[in-house]
Structure 1
């Protein structure tokens, strides 16, 4: 598989991530710490236009763009004399961003608990929505332990039912492709390799044609993709700890899933291995969640988060973890030279309109009811995602990012896709299905 998906991990990042202002520490994100339920409701009334299934598709994309190694497992050394921690080395589980490594991992030769070693297929019964059925159904494991098997490579996709189901949909889609190729006479591993390359092409098409249009400001979406400024492509640390954290504005406090009724977000955030209410009672209506059915739950990027993400039972896994990992990783902030260059490259008068002092003043004028008072210093030297959430609240269109958030997201995603080197089209893969949306892929996976 390394021949088809070239290892891009050694390529230099388009940006380095030092702090160029001595003595400025990573500030706590005021919005995430002080959001109130009333403020959350007011924000969603303004920004809730995106079907909430894209919340979790965006999270899956974020996972596929970078490391799943906990920040406290990365060694750091003191250097430089300014008291800042400097990285000695970084271990990244994702060697090739946006190639579905969160689904495939290193492949069937090394992950026999995920793949059947004879067929190179994922261990799933056709149509299964969770990765815990194959082994017992096939009698391959004699294990009286009743805990469910979550045979997923990336641990981040195991504990949220939404992400679990989306990951399994990709696994089922791959199996469907590979079975078709084996029925044409291809050997199992060759069918695996061809199917994986085809799935990655479909992944890129879904990201650029289905996901990004939901979040991009029209002025950024309309720019020539071949001429995007290089300063809009973030380094991995800032992408994950600076931009992708803004997606935590998207989860709703509760979801109505049809026949199983209304469920709180807390039951979705699965922890441990015991069966959860989400696994036993929920049945996700993906056409509803992706907006194909009436009454879809809607969300959007705003200057707020669901209170459940800050509740004591989940804070250690979400918001507090964000703060701790950002304090170690030191992603770029709006006051850094590299991000000031990204702002300066925005079209029209946007650089002046989103200058920290003006953004703070405009936010205060537009939202006197907000639970916090935002100032220029907070925006300039606080977390990048806090800036992007405020910008989205004021300047986003139909729930999406404002101009800077859109530019950074588009530049980073398209940059990652362009760095992927895929094998050429193979005649053996002719006629394989090419779903254009995530919902189409889910439908194919469950036929």
Structure 2
């Protein structure tokens, strides 16, 4: 790590500590029951599921999961989304808000990211959640943890990232809920309990409780049967969702049982943040599934399995690069090719230098010829030229896919439901000539 990078890291937590100090004044007056949600992917989905059962009894950290974002959320401040001059306002506003502002809800449902080393610990040691839901574990933001492996702190990236997320269970007071099907997660929790680092009760959930799954572009049904009681529950959503949501539904049931709350089986009102499994009507009858918010292999694999299970004809894929993978980007994009092959799509459009370099050659070896480009404008031109109107298109990954979707929407007003609508994102697209 260069001296400049070390300085940036120290500065990040130094400034974050400033905002945490003042946010803690408001937080201690509030004294909510904290439910923390962490994991490599799916945190926002889990937060929105919890919102379905707690409703207005809780405040939710929508759009905030970092050391800065959570402090701002507690003080009811908006982070830096426009001018950098806003930092001056935030430095002045935080002390004032800490004196006068306090949330009133009984619960604080907070999403906590493990994007960089020590951030989860920074937040967990402060918030000390009553309940932690650790929903997933994978190599997201792997590039941030490579230095820890190089320095010999951990054997590999898996262990470095697992250790980061495990900071939440270590600081949890009452209940930890995890995925029993993820071996690294289970081993981490067993070690924490054996060392006496937490007195919290641990509940291990499993996707094996799923007995039936049906998905369409605009609807999903789950049937789950408890291995303990034998009771069967059915859930219905008005959007396409992956089979992996099963683990979150089982976790939701365990949380509801702990809180003594009943879950409504009709979750049609369940909402997701933009770019996460949204369904849109496209021009000339095209069906669009927008999952373009992010792309880590674990989420890409999940969404591709969903698409494979969907009973529709003429499946098309538009896949952008998986970013923030550092030295493992080659192997992750090679795995991506294997997952794409399983879907057997009619057409594949790859966008980005990584998919071009690592994914496309493996698809060609398998007898699949994708359309490959580094330019979203070229990808849009290809779609507009070849779409007949009978296709269902899944968008997943980076490379400004939201801009492409906007151009093929049937109803232009739906653009406001797409991800990255903030000013900074608009400016980034404009710099690429995407107007």
TM-score range, shorter chain: under 0.3
> Using CA pairs below 8 Å that are at least 6 residues apart, which structure has the higher relative contact order?
1
TM-score by length of 2: 0.23
* TM-score under structure 1 length normalisation: 0.23
